[in-house]
Structure 1
Amino acid sequence: MENRTYTISVYSENNVGLLNRISGIFLKRHINIESLNVSSSEIENVSRFVIVVNTTEHWVKNIVGQIEKQIEVIKAFYHTDEETIFQESALFKIASHLLFDERQIQNIIKVSNATIVTVSRDFFVISKSGRRNEIEELYQQLKPFGIMQFVRSGRISVSKAEMKISAMLREFQEAEEV
């Protein structure tokens, strides 16, 4: 089996220590986490971890099985890039004088569909959302001008197919109400 990029979605209760235990599952198998994002989900009081790894399907199935054994985990899924819609976001902090002195920067911002978030006397901040390669391309274009600070988020994604978790939790909540 060959390595591929997989997006793992973990629905869980929001408990202290869970992130540490989940990352330990990857550590034991010497699998690097490429990207990690944790946020609230579409389900009230349920958090969603979005974890990106590059491994084989055998290992990703094994990892998802181990994650689901954690008490706070409601359900975990894995998807290939073709099965998801995903993006990342990035912020670039650049010296303000370049915005006015280097016309090329304005063109780079426009062509890349980035936006200027704020401008101050000393710096301006550009925001870019898109695929990782689009953010990397913008980084490479801005690098010669000098980037004061750069940060990129973890992947956020939704699956193309319906996630059965919502229906499963609705049935559970309805059963509790009876």
Structure 2
Amino acid sequence: MEQESKLFTVSVYTENNIGLLNRISAIFQRRHINIESINSSVCEIEGVSRWTLVVNLSEEQMKKIIGQIEKQVEVIKAYYHTEEETVYQESCLFKLRSDLLFDGSEIQNLIIENNARIVTVNKQFFVIEKSGRKEEIELLYRELSVFGIMQFTRSGRIAVSKEEMKISEILAVFQ
């Protein structure tokens, strides 16, 4: 019986080595699985990087992939979580023409209603920042697109698990 696909947030704790991203993405590529989003950052442990990936697949496939990821020498530990098991956000920036900000209050109201904030304003353009769930960002994008968005960019998902992952205890062995 085929398991249904669902979104998983994958957390990979790694040493920061060149080429590891290529090898991990190849694990997904070989299985024809698209990585929906990826973020790399420092984490709570000094000298360790944390990658957060979002993928859509079955839990059976996810377990196999976690095993493959953990076989990589530089990977310390990998976890996967469902949407319900994580607290997550994305962030984005919208660049729009400055005259829109001063022609009536429509844009200003959208900013307030969407809990966004203005990052910078000059004579040519202004930039709005919005953090939230993917759906919230997509809604603001649709609302602002009628005004003409000059530029738009969005981060990958950042997430923490609701459950303790005990990664610090695992890393104590490595120190």
Q: TM-score range by the shorter chain?
A: over 0.9
Q: Which residue does the alignment assign to 1:137?
A: 139
Q: Tell me, in whole angstroms, the C-alpha distance in 2 between the residues paired with 1:63 and 1:24.
A: 11
Paired residue type of 2:18: V
Unaligned runs of 5+ in 2: none
Deviation at 1:170, TM superposition (A): 2.4
- 1:76 partner SS: strand
Q: Tell me, in whole angstroms, the C-alpha distance in 2 between the residues paired with 1:102 and 1:33.
A: 41
Q: Tell me, in whole angstroms, the C-alpha distance in 2 between the residues paired with 1:152 and 1:159.
A: 22
Q: Which residue does the alignment assign to 2:89?
A: 87
How many residues align? The count is 173
Q: Which residue does the alignment assign to 2:166?
A: 164
The equivalences for 1:79-158 within 5 A come to: 79-158=81-160
Paired residue type of 1:159: S
- 1:145 partner SS: coil
TM-score (norm 1): 0.96
Q: Which residue does the alignment assign to 1:53?
A: 55
Deviation at 1:171, TM superposition (A): 4.3
Report the structure, 1 or 2, having the larger helix content. Answer: 1
Runs of 4+ in 1 over 6 A off after TM superposition: none
- 2:169 partner SS: helix
Deviation at 1:152, TM superposition (A): 0.3
Deviation at 1:172, TM superposition (A): 3.9
CA deviation profile, 1:72-116 (whole Å, cap 9, x unmatched): 000000000100000000000000000001421110000000000
Q: Tell me, in whole angstroms, the C-alpha distance in 2 between the residues paired with 1:27 and 1:68.
A: 16
What is the Cα-based RMSD across aligned positions, in Å?
0.7
Paired residue type of 1:150: F
Q: Which residue does the alignment assign to 1:176?
A: none
Identity over aligned pairs, percent: 65
Unaligned runs of 5+ in 1: 174-178
TM-score (norm 2): 0.97
Q: Which residue does the alignment assign to 2:42?
A: 40
Deviation at 1:132, TM superposition (A): 0.3
